[in-house]
Amino acid sequence: MTEQNQQTAEEEKNEAAEAVETVETEAAAPEAEAAEKPSYEDLEARIADLEAQVKEEQLRGLANEQNLRRRHQEEIASTHKFAGQKFAAEMLPVKDYLEMALLDQSGNFDALKMGVQMTLTELQKAFDATKIKEINPQPGDKLDPHQHQAMQAVVKEDQEPNTIVSVMKKGYALEERVLRPAMVVVAKKED
């Protein structure tokens, strides 16, 4: 056999082998498709598994939400319970000084006055630390209904109406919130 005949024979063998493989593949294809297609029962089981997973995720989400709500409520309750803690701690030295002043039996008025001054200084420090500020309007200032409370109106010729004549009690504010308005006497026109 010549070389050319040998190549042709080999090509024919290769073509025959490919044809056999193609036939076998085509014959195996329906079997593979049948093996790949799940049965109705398998699909139902898969659906049940997925529904169980979804339900579990929903329950975990609800539990997480309830835990967050509970923690948030506990934090709010704790905040309300201990809101005055800083101010209370600042007031302890003031109480101590007042008790010491009451225990003083010396009868020395100057020592008592000095003790009251020290107490007032400590109280002012406590107010500064907790951001409590005085509302102390000056005579002639306009009445501000948000910060002042008119307790009395007097005729005052040299002042405009609704201006402050005098302060009966100072007011106090915590940050921007008024704790107690300043109680003032205001000027009015003569009737």
Sequence spans of domains, the chain: 3-81, 84-130, 131-191
Report, as an integer, the average pLDDT of 90-113: 83
Tokens of 97: 């000084």
pLDDT in tens, 21-35: 655 555 555 555 555
Model pLDDT, residue 81: 81
- Range from 41-50, 97-106, 165-174, 176-185 carrying the lowest mean pLDDT: 97-106
Q: What stretch of H or E contains 139? A: none
Rounded CA-CA distance 38/45 in Å is 11
Indicate yes or no: pTM above 0.85: no
Query: What kind of architecture, by CATH, is found in domain 131-191?
Result: Roll (2.30)
Model pLDDT, residue 38: 86
Tokens of 68: 């967050």
Report, as an integer, the average pLDDT of 163-185: 93
β pairing state of 164-169 and 182-188: antiparallel
Report, as an integer, the average pLDDT of 74-80: 88
For 166, which DSSP code? E
